[in-house]
Structure 1
Amino acid sequence: MKKRGKATFFVVAALIAFLAYTALFGITSQYGDVKTPILKGVDTIRWGIDIRGGVDVTFTPPEGTKATKDELAAAESIIQQRLIAQNITDNEVYTDYQNQRIIVRFPWKDDETDFNPEAAIKELGETAELTFREGDNRDSSGNPTGVTAENIILTGSDVKSAKAGQNPNNQEIVVQLELNDSGKEKFAAATKKLAGVGQISIWLDNTRISAPAVNEEIPNGVATISGNFTAETAKDLADKINAGALPFALTADNYNSINPTLGMGAKDAMLLACGIAFVAVCIFMIAVYRLPGVVACIALVGQVAGAFAAVSGYFGPFPSFTLTLPGIAGIILAVGMGVDTNIVTSERIKEEIRAGKSVGAAVTSGFKNSFSAIFDSNITMVIVAVILMGAFGPPSSLFAKLLNPIFQFFPSAITGAIYSFGYTLLVGVVMNFIMGVTASRLMVRSLSKFRCFDKKWLFGGKKDEA
């Protein structure tokens, strides 16, 4: 019976070693000069702006302005458009409809030491300039040129609304455009001129967002834009058009700017402290609990590796996650839970041995008797993590939707740092169940079957005990 299961320790330890190595360094395939990640390592982790530096700003409509949900959605669209225009593609934009605010987070521009966050914020909040122009002539930079630059047909003030809809004749998804009285006559003249022979391009600031062909004269100011839209792309175009028709500019209610040097310094200091603490914990565990302490250290390595893997996008179905300083703190807290799990189990095993049981029976009883306490403490942390993610995450997130029946009665508070903390805490606790409970039990039971390890003192008993 003892021979069965002896290999389990080596199999589990090898799997943990593989996870730790690949989660740290990743695995890539290379074809020529192109590298394609197969398993993502820690070098692909997206660091939050509190680490790499960036801007956290909250925009609101001017005082006394009551923006509609559609206007806020349009404002969010224009902010995203302008961030991309500034080559800031790694950004986070959330809209809090209840409190009428838009939260924007974006990093410092790469390779730019004189980046002015105040100027960038001012540019983001300005009213968008929407224009409908004749033709679609653009220069090498994508800016309007020639007749397109000269002939402006409509501006944002001429647009009443735009929304995604369906063509009742063929069920095709389209964008439905309605003009004010000021734009009907100008649009009718332009469509009469260009019907069947030209295009009317739509511009937001200096970015072309669409260039539909003119099929017929439109005299009543009600038009549809078609072109292989999905429901999502049609809504996106409608939001952009509505953004250009906004009657107000957004104001920066508050903002924080973090220098990248300070952020990276804080990250390095925290990681160094984590490394020192991890080594100290391992020494303590081995010194006090001996063989179960060694197993606990291996399990903790797996737990930490799994937590970073979940953040980096290592596990295919789960996308990468922005890691902030509170997120690192969440991993540390979860590791503390992992240490607590192993201490509770090791103490139970010691108690069973001191009660006179054999090593095998003590190991079995120790894990069995400690599970309920471990489960209760960890499930409590899972509940806390889920509540944090639901309360402080974006409205589109899974837990925000699940907890919406509860949180709809409270003001929304989207805070990326707390959301990151909740996520890493949740991931860390799940990895604790996998590593600290399951993997540890398999490895300790496997080692107890070896004659050289079947000694009570290795599991917390007295040295003179057999």
Structure 2
Amino acid sequence: MLQFRPWQVGFVVFLVLLGAYFAAPNFFPKDKTPWGFQDSRVTLGLDLQGGSYLLLRVDTDKVIDDRLRGLERDVRAALRDRGDGGRVQFTGLRRLDGGIVVRIPSEDDLDRAEQRLRSLIGPVGGGLGGLGSPRDLHVEREGDTFTLTLTEEAVTFITDNAVTDSIEVVRRRIDSLGTTEPSIARQGEGRLVVQVPGDDDPEALKSVIARTGQLSFHMVEGPAQIGEPVPPRRIVAPLAEGGGSLVLIEDPEVTGDMVTDASAQPNQDGGGFQVNFAFDGRGARRFGDVTRNNIGRQFAILLDDQIISAPTIQGPITGGSGRITGNFSPEEATELSILIRSGALPAPLTVIEQRTVGADLGADSVKAGTIALIIGFVAVVAYIVVSYGRFGIYADIALLANVVLIAGALSVLGATLTLPGIAGIVLVIGMAVDANVLIFERIKEELKAGRKPVAAVEQGYGQAWSAIFDANLTTLIAAFIMFMLGAGPVRGFAITLGIGTVTSVFTAYVITRIFAGRYVLAKRPKTLSL
């Protein structure tokens, strides 16, 4: 048990050197990484280098309302002529109390209407869905009136998806700004915590990530007249520039999810900037058909219920691309291109809290955390040497290897190091020594029992393993739970604690055993000073 083959020792040395290789770039400026080294670094968190903090609420009620609006269109389409028996006459189609209500005046159409409405029921989340899969709609018939409501499972699925999709959209928008790695995490139900280290302008950040960015293209009916009722299936939208409003056809011809790319550049036809965009195959076909069939008509580009451009179609545009012109500043054009490129938020975001952490405060945190880490490391190193002599030196070598492996693992993962994360590393250092203390005390017990040094060391490592494994397994489980349920700094602490637990067990049990085994097998001492 104390003998290691050369390849086993070589593998352990290789792992430690690999950790040092990945950790090394952290000691050089970002633009001066030594040749031959991967640019793998630990990102300092908000509390260590300063930055912006936003707490956002996802308006999931809006998502449910949008789903009901879509369901209303589906009901209308289902009751109209579908080529399988003619049109079903209906009246009073409307949204009411979180559902869709429709009345069928003809008794002869009731069964046919129920069949068509029930055909709208599907599995939650779409897809095939088995026989036992939860359904997304509940259809209730009472006399000549039908009520369609979303099931609880469907509401939960829609709201959860809205929060998850919002995280991805926010991440894409922040990444487009070129900032350092952001931390975006869910907090409770319907809330997001956004931390952007290095950013000192939360207002500018908020203007980019909190806008819905819902882009759509509509045909224009004409100017809106004050006081006149809006015709059915038409909407009124204000012009972003120049004032006034236009009446648009409610159903968009092309939607923002069909746009694949957008970029800002100087306006080709005059002053200011413009935004160029490109469609996917589906969007290119629709855009080409619309421009081909509506030459001479106005085409409105709507962003968050506001018309940002309303050009007149001069001819068919079949190349799958277009441009939005206007008197945009460079900043406005860049922000608009980011919104289009990153996609629309599934639900509006409301800023609940925002704050800025200054770089000076972050620097103080780094200094305090570093001092705490050094003091803790030196104190533990000194204590273990004084207490266990030669074997304490072996434990200190393993402890140093442990810190190197932790730094290397965090660098490979690109983890964000926070102040609680530093606390986790300090805690792990103590835990690593704790494993060695268990081993060494067990060896002392075996020596007192009359065993020879070689047998005592072998039995000490063997008997201590179960206690070390159990203690660190429970710590690892706790770290996993904190990572899954926590957010922000709690996750940072969980990451360093989890990684450190694994590396400390490896270094405390394997590396010290290599040194201790080689010593007692080579020297065959008659006594051990522990």
TM-score interval for Structure 1 and Structure 2 normalised by the shorter chain? 0.5 to 0.7
Matches of residues 70-219 of structure 1 in structure 2 within 5 Å?
76=167, 79-80=170-171, 82-84=173-175, 86-94=177-185, 99-109=189-199, 115-122=200-207, 124-128=209-213, 130=215, 142-146=265-269, 186-187=298-299, 193-196=315-318, 199-201=321-323, 206-207=333-334
Shift of 1:350: 0.8
| Greater strand share, structure number | 2
Residues of 1 paired with 2:419 and 2:462: CA distance?
A: 36
Whether contact under 8 Å (1:326, 1:417) holds in the other structure is yes
Residues of 2 paired with 1:285 and 1:151: CA distance?
A: 67
Q: Secondary structure at the match of 2:416?
A: coil
- 1:253 maps to a residue whose letter is I
Shift of 1:337: 1.2
Shift of 1:389: 1.3
Alignment deviations for residues 22-75 of structure 1 (CA, whole Å, 9 cap, x no partner): 3553599xxxx995553557xx32111110101221112569755665765675
Matches of residues 226-241 of structure 1 in structure 2 within 5 Å?
240=343
Whether 1:283 aligns to 2:378 is no
Whether contact under 8 Å (2:44, 2:417) holds in the other structure is yes
- 1:356 maps to a residue whose letter is G
Whether contact under 8 Å (1:153, 1:190) holds in the other structure is no
Whether contact under 8 Å (1:19, 1:305) holds in the other structure is no
Residues of 2 paired with 1:301 and 1:47: CA distance?
A: 22
Residues of 1 paired with 2:312 and 2:60: CA distance?
A: 38
Of 492, 501, 505, which aligns to 1:429? 501
Compared CA separation, residues 175 and 279, structure 1 to 2 (3 A): farther
Aligned residue number for residue 488 of structure 2? 416
Compared CA separation, residues 352 and 9, structure 1 to 2 (3 A): farther
Alignment deviations for residues 312-363 of structure 1 (CA, whole Å, 9 cap, x no partner): 11xxxxx321111111111221221111100000001111111111110000
Q: What RMSD in Å do the two structures reach over aligned CA positions?
A: 4.7
Matches of residues 245-260 of structure 1 in structure 2 within 5 Å?
250-260=349-359
Q: Secondary structure at the match of 1:194?
A: coil
Residues of 2 paired with 1:72 and 1:366: CA distance?
A: 52
Aligned residue number for residue 408 of structure 1? none
Q: Secondary structure at the match of 2:364?
A: helix
Moved more, 258-267 or 64-73: 64-73
Larger Rg: 2
Q: How many residues align?
A: 368
Shift of 1:94: 4.0
Whether contact under 8 Å (2:373, 2:422) holds in the other structure is no
Alignment deviations for residues 209-241 of structure 1 (CA, whole Å, 9 cap, x no partner): 88xxxxxxxxxxxxxxxxxxxxxxxxx97961x
Aligned residue number for residue 360 of structure 2? 261
Compared CA separation, residues 455 and 150, structure 1 to 2 (3 A): closer
Whether 1:385 aligns to 2:382 is no
Shift of 1:257: 2.4
Shift of 1:264: 2.0
Whether contact under 8 Å (1:353, 1:362) holds in the other structure is yes
Shift of 1:130: 4.5
Shift of 1:126: 4.0
Aligned residue number for residue 224 of structure 1? none
Residues of 2 paired with 1:208 and 1:201: CA distance?
A: 15
Aligned residue number for residue 274 of structure 1? 373
Compared CA separation, residues 380 and 272, structure 1 to 2 (3 A): same
Whether contact under 8 Å (1:345, 1:370) holds in the other structure is yes
Compared CA separation, residues 273 and 92, structure 1 to 2 (3 A): closer
Residues of 2 paired with 1:85 and 1:208: CA distance?
A: 10
Whether 1:47 aligns to 2:44 is yes
Shift of 1:79: 3.9
Q: Secondary structure at the match of 1:56?
A: strand
Whether contact under 8 Å (1:331, 1:428) holds in the other structure is yes
Whether 1:360 aligns to 2:454 is yes
**TM, length-normalised to structure 1:** 0.64
Aligned residue number for residue 57 of structure 1? 54
Could you tell me the percent identity over the aligned residues? 25
Residues of 2 paired with 1:370 and 1:253: CA distance?
A: 51
Aligned residue number for residue 450 of structure 1? 522
Aligned residue number for residue 217 of structure 1? none
- 1:262 maps to a residue whose letter is L
For structure 1, list consecutive stretches of 5 or more residues without a partner in the other structure: 110-114, 134-139, 155-162, 168-172, 178-183, 211-235, 314-318, 393-414, 461-466
For structure 2, list consecutive stretches of 5 or more residues without a partner in the other structure: 65-157, 219-262, 288-293, 301-310, 326-330
Shift of 1:193: 1.2
Compared CA separation, residues 288 and 176, structure 1 to 2 (3 A): farther
Compared CA separation, residues 152 and 349, structure 1 to 2 (3 A): closer
Residues of 2 paired with 1:347 and 1:264: CA distance?
A: 41
Of 402, 405, 408, which aligns to 1:306? 405
Alignment deviations for residues 274-297 of structure 1 (CA, whole Å, 9 cap, x no partner): 212212211211111112211111
Residues of 2 paired with 1:380 and 1:175: CA distance?
A: 58
Whether contact under 8 Å (1:7, 1:446) holds in the other structure is no
Shift of 1:147: 7.3
Q: Secondary structure at the match of 2:440?
A: helix
Alignment deviations for residues 395-442 of structure 1 (CA, whole Å, 9 cap, x no partner): xxxxxxxxxxxxxxxxxxxx1211111111111111012111122212
Q: Secondary structure at the match of 1:363?
A: helix
Aligned residue number for residue 510 of structure 2? 438
Compared CA separation, residues 120 and 103, structure 1 to 2 (3 A): same
